[in-house]
Amino acid sequence: MLLVTIDTLRRDRVGAFGDRRGLTPSLDRLAAEGIRYTRAFSHAPMTLPAHTSILTGLTPRRHGVRNNTTFRLGERIPTLATAIKSAGYRTGAFVAAFVLDARFGLNRGFDEYDDRLGHNDRPSFHFAERRARDVLSAAGDWILSRGSTRSSVEPPAPSDVQPWFCWVHLFDPHAPYDAPGSASGDRSPYDAEVAYTDAMLGAFLDRLRAAHALDRTLIVVTADHGESLGEHGETTHGLFAYNATIAVPFILSGPGIAHGEVDAPVAHVDLTPTILDLMGGTIPEDLDGRSLVRAPQSDRPIYFEALDASMTRGWAPLFGVIQNGWKFIDLPDAELYDLSADPAELHNRAGGDPHGDLLKRALLASSGPEGSAPAAPVDAEAAARLRSLGYVGGGQKPRAVTAADDPKRLVSLNERFTTALTAFDQGRAEEALGAFLSILQARPDFVSARASAATVLLALGRASDAVRLLREAPADQADSGDLLAKLGSALREAGDLQGAAGAFERAQRSGNQNPELLNDLAVAYAGLGRTADARKLFDTMLSRSPASATTWFNLGLFELQNRRQAEAAAAFRRAVQVEPSYGEAWYALGSALVGADPRSAADAWRRGERLLPHNYDLLFNLGMLLADGDSAAAAIPYLRRFVQEAPRARYAEDIVRVRSVLARLERRPS
């Protein structure tokens, strides 16, 4: 069984669904060999909620994951992977972006959950990703590693190779659009990403076909959501729920699957029951989705929502329903569209058409009891990787909303916010700061803009200005967990560890329980000499997220501070095992080892130097360590680089010392 989810893929870019750009020959081939569902919808235009619905068969109201940063899937909710694993399959997942990191809960049921992404030491609002080529290479290796050629839609027999279920997530069509040059041609940046993703998927499928791994395998392909590309004033996704972002391609292909087209409404919640049905498994009775083995009902209501702007900015929450070719969006300025006559959703029929009342009742009927999900374990490493739209934290309290809070009236502010985030990521920090401050003049209650502005100020070394900006937040945000956590970071950078710890503690009391906060509080406690409190928090964080490289790194620093070199080295080793590209951790590992094992310290520093070529403290230490060792000649290239490149004002005395060592080494016979 192969499930492929392509992030941010508009349905109208797939040839099998009517596009004529020729972007998706691989997807078109799959669709021609199976069934394409022409009216498939996502329940939320955001990656984590949409994928949670795909893998649970529940709408966001039931599984409780409502945006990308705040939640993780509850432990008691079964998933497609847990059901398939219990049937005897080996299970693997290969995800391309941090927003689906294991800490958000979708890893349950997978024997292998490959969310390995590079470490990013530079502050950024853009979260880490990897290209389709890399994800698909790893997934292909895993699928073929056991040589399973049995059908992944049939229960395994004891004499057969263990069947497999593999979920592959591809992120390339997501902004920023930067497809490899060979895929670009004369296409738009977005279309180039779509074409690149399809080409990589095609090569992956060809590899599996050549190995006969797809001979009897069910293949399901969909997108988590689409992309607005300027429609209705939105550039990307997450704010609105027009069909540009919630209409998705959905293809079912494989042996025994009829060829054709289904024009009845279906949704992401249908994937789990359909797959279980085709496998001969038991479908849980309480799912929101329905197996598509039987013809879907033409008058079925499809629920959707877009809540991130409400959660992170205090804007109006967006709920809606699609039924019988009509779409209702429940906002202060309600919207009603006849999708058959008006597929672009340009003519609002709300207020005068009886379909509005019918769909309002359908939306109310779809409500039911709401589920809840625990706060997501987002640590400092996670925060550096999260990008908006909606990918930076919120913590906005619910309040009464008016027409002024309708996202249609605030879309230009949303675009300014997104543009500011991009400006910072591209190195234009002052421009980004000015934009954030301008947004706050218009909406002082815009929590994410205030937190983002503070992040920029900290990156610019202006900690006291960040403290002042955070303390100027509206009075009703005095207990905002996100702003208090950011205030703690600002106070720490300003040198006020006691104030920082107090702010972090207040953030905890406000209900903010994610490991980013625990990490910061542990560091503050360590700096204040509260060793037992710090160690308890590190233990808590690592029990929740044992694969957090940043937490292992900070624990190592804590152990170094307490002169526990062996324990520090062990923690740094765990950090680089999780993130081999974590240059600072390699540097720290060498520092922990240098007294007891100089050879291993030199090896660690070599790894660190390749990742941090402009860290001249590291370059100096590595060169001098090698100069005093058995292979002193190996020090010469590092010491020469130090003399040539190290800033004179800061390293004047060290440069004199290194020149003296170089002269001695270069006089030695070779």
Query: Does residue 382 register a pLDDT over 80?
Result: no
Q: Is there a contact between 177 and 193 (Cβ–Cβ < 8 Å)?
A: yes
Residues 295-314 have a mean pLDDT of 92
Q: Per-residue confidence at 365, pLDDT binned at 50, 70, 90?
A: confident
Q: What are phi and psi of 649, to 5 degrees?
A: -60, -40
| Number of helices followed by number of strands (H, E) in the chain | 27, 15
Residue whose C-alpha is closest to residue 335's, from 414, 244, 240: 240
Residues 526-538 have a mean pLDDT of 92
Contacts of residue 543, Cβ cutoff 8 Å, sequence gap at least 6: none
Range(s) within the chain of domains with CATH label 1.25.40.10: 402-533
Residue whose C-alpha is closest to residue 15's, from 211, 195, 278, 178: 195
Which DSSP string do the residues of 587-652 spell out, in sequence order? Answer: HHHHHHHTTT-HHHHHHHHHHHHHH-TT-HHHHHHHHHHHHTSTTGGGGHHHHHHHHHHS-HHHHH
Encoded amino acid at 123, one letter: P
Judged by average pLDDT, the poorest of 76-80, 95-99, 368-372 is 368-372
Q: What is the residue-averaged pLDDT of the chain?
A: 89
Distance CA 569, CA 277 (A): 50
Contacts of residue 340, Cβ cutoff 8 Å, sequence gap at least 6: 325
Distance CA 258, CA 246 (A): 26
The CATH superfamily assigned to 2-120+129-226+241-294 is Alkaline Phosphatase, subunit A (3.40.720.10)
pLDDT at 386: 37
Residues 116-141 have pLDDT tens digits of 776 555 566 665 688 999 999 999 99
Residues 252-285 have pLDDT tens digits of 999 989 899 999 999 999 999 999 999 888 999 8
pLDDT at 116: 78
Distance CA 488, CA 500 (A): 4
Cis peptide before 389 (omega within 30 of 0): yes
Residue whose C-alpha is closest to residue 512's, from 485, 548, 473: 485
Residues 343-350 have a mean pLDDT of 97
Which DSSP string do the residues of 519-574 spell out, in sequence order? Answer: HHHHHHHHHTT-HHHHHHHHHHHHHH-TT-HHHHHHHHHHHHHTT-HHHHHHHHHH
Q: Is there a contact between 250 and 270 (Cβ–Cβ < 8 Å)?
A: no
Helix extents (H) in 426-480: 429-442, 447-459, 463-471
pLDDT at 31: 97
Range(s) within the chain of domains with CATH label 3.40.720.10: 2-120+129-226+241-294
Distance CA 185, CA 188 (A): 9
Q: What are phi and psi of 179, to 5 degrees?
A: -60, 150
Provide, rounded to the nearest whole percent, the portion of the chain with pLDDT above 70: 90
The CATH number for 402-533, chosen from 3.20.20.140, 1.25.40.10, 1.10.10.10, 3.40.50.2300, is: 1.25.40.10
Query: Does residue 22 register a pLDDT over 90?
Result: yes
Distance CA 638, CA 616 (A): 10
Judged by average pLDDT, the poorest of 221-230, 535-544, 612-621 is 535-544
Q: Is there a contact between 605 and 622 (Cβ–Cβ < 8 Å)?
A: yes
Judged by average pLDDT, the poorest of 276-280, 397-401, 474-478, 639-643 is 397-401
Q: Is there a contact between 483 and 392 (Cβ–Cβ < 8 Å)?
A: no
Give 220's strand partners: 3, 252
Distance CA 58, CA 65 (A): 10
Place of tokens 């990156």: 459
Distance CA 90, CA 166 (A): 8
| Number of neighbouring beta carbons within 10 Å of residue 482 | 26
Query: Does residue 536 register a pLDDT over 80?
Result: yes
Which residue would you say has higher pLDDT here, 150 or 624?
624
What does DSSP say about strands 302-306 and 266-267: parallel, antiparallel, or unpaired? unpaired
Tokens of 641: 């680089």
Query: Does residue 318 register a pLDDT over 60?
Result: yes
Place of tokens 């709300």: 350
- Size of the chain in residues: 670
Q: Per-residue confidence at 513, pLDDT binned at 50, 70, 90?
A: low
pLDDT at 546: 81
CA 36 to centroid of chain Cα atoms:
28
Q: Per-residue confidence at 93, pLDDT binned at 50, 70, 90?
A: very high
Contacts of residue 83, Cβ cutoff 8 Å, sequence gap at least 6: 109, 272, 276, 281, 282
Residues 474-492 have a mean pLDDT of 91
Place of tokens 């002193």: 632
Tokens of 477: 């945000």
Question: CA end-to-end span of the chain, whole Å?
Answer: 61
Contacts of residue 630, Cβ cutoff 8 Å, sequence gap at least 6: none
pTM (predicted TM-score): 0.80
Q: Is there a contact between 246 and 322 (Cβ–Cβ < 8 Å)?
A: no
What does DSSP say about strands 335-338 and 326-330: parallel, antiparallel, or unpaired? antiparallel
Contacts of residue 104, Cβ cutoff 8 Å, sequence gap at least 6: 48, 65, 71, 72, 73, 376
Residue whose C-alpha is closest to residue 189's, from 179, 197, 200, 174: 179
Residues 129-183 have pLDDT tens digits of 889 999 999 999 999 987 443 334 443 344 446 899 999 999 999 998 999 876 7
Residues 630-658 have a mean pLDDT of 92
Residues 86-96 have a mean pLDDT of 95
Contacts of residue 66, Cβ cutoff 8 Å, sequence gap at least 6: 44, 49, 60, 305, 307, 308, 311, 373
pLDDT at 127: 58
Tokens of 259: 């060829």
